[in-house]
Structure formats: C-alpha cells, structure tokens
Amino acid sequence: MATNGPAPEICALVDERAGECCEMCGRHAQGGSRHHRRSKRVRRPDTNMPANLVLLCGSGSTGCHGWVHTHVREATELGLIVSQWATPADVLVVLTTGIVYLDDYGNYVPTEGAAA
C-alpha cells in the first residue's frame, strides 16, 4: 500500500487515458495534477490506482483541480469526489468523455443510459 503519491507507471496510465488533457474541461493538462477521487488520507490499497485518479488542470487550488476542492457538493454529484467508504471503480464519474466508470487498467468503462 502506497503512502505517498501514485507510482510513475500509474501516473503514465492516467495521463495516457486522458490524452494528457484535463478530464473535466478538456484543456491540455501536461503538467496538471492527478486528483484523488477518494481522499488520499483514506489509505487503502487502491488509493493510488487509476480508478481513484483523474487528470485535472491546475493544482489543488487552481484550475479544475481547485474547482473540485472548492465545490465539494457539485464535485461529489459528478463523481469527482467519492465517499471514504466507496470503491472508486464502482462510482460513476462525469468527464469530458461522458458518464463512465474508471478501472485500474487505465481505461474508461462506458455505461449505457447511466445517470450520475
């Protein structure tokens, strides 16, 4: 179980999944940040896995990443923030690609007719 940030290979999977674009607004996000959907303070084996991470522009206080942290209710409704008891891979998230699940292989898992 990792106690720090995600390993470089996990970061690469998340960045590749996102096409190096912010998964919230679609802007180029090279040098952006990987947001933990379930707080990284909740230390579980899947904390730093791709299903718990989204690539966002900005930092924890700027850009889309900053928006998520200042608009908790809305971000939770979008699946960008999940409960400490949730398994991120089981929570739908609204991204530029649509309403999807994220898996730990770095993929979007599309849903048909799903509502967040």
Query: Which residues, 6 or more positions from 61, have their beta carbon under 8 angstroms from its beta carbon?
Result: 69
Domain borders along the chain are 8-110
Spatial separation of the C-alpha atoms in residues 58 and 112, rounded to whole Å: 31
* pLDDT score recorded for residue 60: 82
Ranges of residues in the chain whose predicted pLDDT is under 70 = 1-3, 113-116
* pLDDT score recorded for residue 113: 54
pTM over 0.85: yes
